[in-house]
Each structure stands twice: as C-alpha cells, then as structure tokens.
Amino acid sequence: MVLAEEWVFLPPSPLFKTLIGAPRDPYTGITAYLNQTRYEGAVGDTFEFLRYSPADQTQWGWGVFGQGYILLGENGPVFPMLAGDWYAGMYLSEASGPFSHRLEFEHQSAHLGDSLQGVQTPIFFSRENFNLTSSFQPSDQFRLYAGIGDWENMYPRGSPFFCSAGTEAYSPASDIGGTYLRGYFTADFQWKGETQSLNKNLELGIQWKSSKGESRDLRLALVYYNGDSDFGQFYRDPDEHWAVGIYFDP
C-alpha cells in the first residue's frame, strides 16, 4: 500500500514537542522564587502554519513562535519590574519515528525594568541566532534531546557558540475524571560560550492533560536553577534559586 502525501494547514499542535524543562522554550506561566523575593512571568506560544506528510512517512512542520519574560521584585504591596526579555522567530521541523528535529531562527532583545531606571545603567542587548535541536523519544515516558546554536549580530559581543542537552522522564499516568495525570522530572543543561557558564535547570512536578495525545498541558513544579541569569540585562550575574511554578505549555 502506497501512502499519499498530505498537507495540513494550521495543525492543532506543533510537530516538535515543547521541551518542558528548557527555561526559554515557549510556555505561559508564573514562577515564585523560594530563597529570594523575586517572581518570573512568561507568556509564549508556537503557531504551526503548515504540516506536510510525504509518502515516505516523515513529517515536516513550519511555523513561528514568540515569548516574553519579565522579572519582578517585591516592595511591600507592589512588584516592581526588574527586567524584560523578548523572543520571536521562525522554525522548520521534521519527525520520523522516535526522532524529531527543529531548526530555528530566533531574535532576542533584553530591557532593564522601570524600577531600575536611574539606579542601574542599561546595556544594549539585541541579537539573532540559528539553532538546531534534535530529540529522541523511544517511549511516552522518556525523552533525550541536544542542541547547538550560533549567535549572529550579537550585542554585547562575545563567543557566539552555545549548546544544550537534557532529558524528560515521566511516571505511569493516572486517569482522573477522564483526564491524564502523571509525575515528571526534567534536567536541562545550557552551555554559553560568551560567559563560559553551564546553566542547569531541574524540575520535579506533575503534568495534567485532557488526554494522552494532547500536546497542551498544565504543570506544577519545584524548580532548581544554577548558573548565570537567563535575563539579558543580567547575563553575567550568577543566579542560584529554588522556585515553584505553574506552567501552561502550547
């Protein structure tokens, strides 16, 4: 039997699944630090415009993504903004069996929060990169991934190379009122050539979805981060914190 090729406009979910343990993959959520009076807010999503499935049983996806992250402090009843980072880009993805790949062009800009204007001198932080991430998921309970990238038009300047590796592990699922609930653990490691730093992000939590095949989910997690700050205005500042977060993945 010869399979016919298929084109799908606006598929319901991206072909390359969100890396839920990567701090800068698109998601929407709130993170509260436990050892500092700081909070992070994030709004992000992925929009896949087109999905192509040729007769060779591979699949190809093309789309765009965007996300914004803000860092808030605390001053009595108010939460002053310390920093804001913004990302936008386009990707091409491919999947075949347990393997999937995503090639991105990404823009990032970083801005100092209003509460630090006049207190700290902002830096001009703007750049673009090309990055490639490959994922291997032999089962629904385990995933490995690795990526490499290179910054272009990079300000401030520095070594443009970066790379990453990580894993996702899931417990057996439980049926809760017809929904899909399971525990998970993630470990994500990011090497940044410009700062010669290894950033580590570990999460332990629960994932809740409407069904097993649904890509969108709600997560509640305990987070440990150690490395340099992911916020561009503070990219050379050491950051180690414990946090709890609630996240919504596209």
93: nearest Cα among 44, 55, 52 = 52
* 85 pLDDT more than 70: yes
- Token pair recorded at residue 92: 């091409």
SS3 assignment for 153-204: EEECCCCCEEEEEEEEEECCCEEECCEEEEEEEEEEEEEECCCCEEEEEEEE
Per-residue pLDDT, averaged over 137-154, amounts to 96
pLDDT of residue 32: 97
Bridging pattern class, strands 197-209 and 179-192: antiparallel
Summary mean pLDDT of the chain: 94
- Token pair recorded at residue 132: 């490639």
Q: Please state, as a whole number, how many other Cβ atoms lie within 10 Å of the Cβ of residue 130.
A: 14
Is the peptide bond between 156 and the residue preceding it cis, with omega within 30 degrees of 0?
Answer: yes
Question: How many angstroms separate the CA atoms of 71 and 41, rounded?
Answer: 7
Sign, CA dihedral 197-202-208-214, equals: positive
Share of the chain above pLDDT 90, in %: 86
pLDDT of residue 1: 43
Per-residue pLDDT, averaged over 15-29, amounts to 96
- Token pair recorded at residue 209: 């979805």
pLDDT of residue 2: 46
Question: What are the φ and ψ backbone dihedral angles of 234, each rounded to 5 degrees?
Answer: -120, 25
| pTM: predicted TM-score of the whole model, two decimal places | 0.93
* 228 pLDDT more than 80: yes
* 55 pLDDT more than 90: no
Between CA 222 and CA 183, with CA 165 as vertex, the angle to 5 degrees is 35
pLDDT of residue 149: 98
Query: How do residues 173-213 score in pLDDT, each as one tens digit?
Result: 999 888 999 999 999 999 999 999 999 999 999 999 998 88
Q: Which residue has the higher pLDDT, 178 or 143?
A: 143
DSSP helix/strand/coil, 116: helix
Question: How many angstroms separate the CA atoms of 186 and 166, rounded?
Answer: 7
Query: How do residues 88-140 score in pLDDT, each as one tens digit?
Result: 999 999 999 999 999 999 999 999 998 888 788 999 999 999 999 999 999 99
Query: How do residues 230-243 score in pLDDT, each as one tens digit?
Result: 999 999 999 999 99
Partners of 40 in the beta sheet? 31, 71
Share of the chain above pLDDT 70, in %: 99
Partners of 142 in the beta sheet? 139, 169
pLDDT of residue 78: 78
Residues 6+ apart with CB under 8 A from 49: 9, 10, 62, 63, 64
pLDDT of residue 3: 63
pLDDT of residue 115: 85
36: nearest Cα among 248, 249, 237 = 237
Query: How do residues 60-75 score in pLDDT, each as one tens digit?
Result: 999 999 999 999 998 7
Report yes or no: 62 and 50 within 8 Å, Cβ to Cβ: yes
At residue 40 the predicted structure's pLDDT band, cuts being 50, 70 and 90, is very high
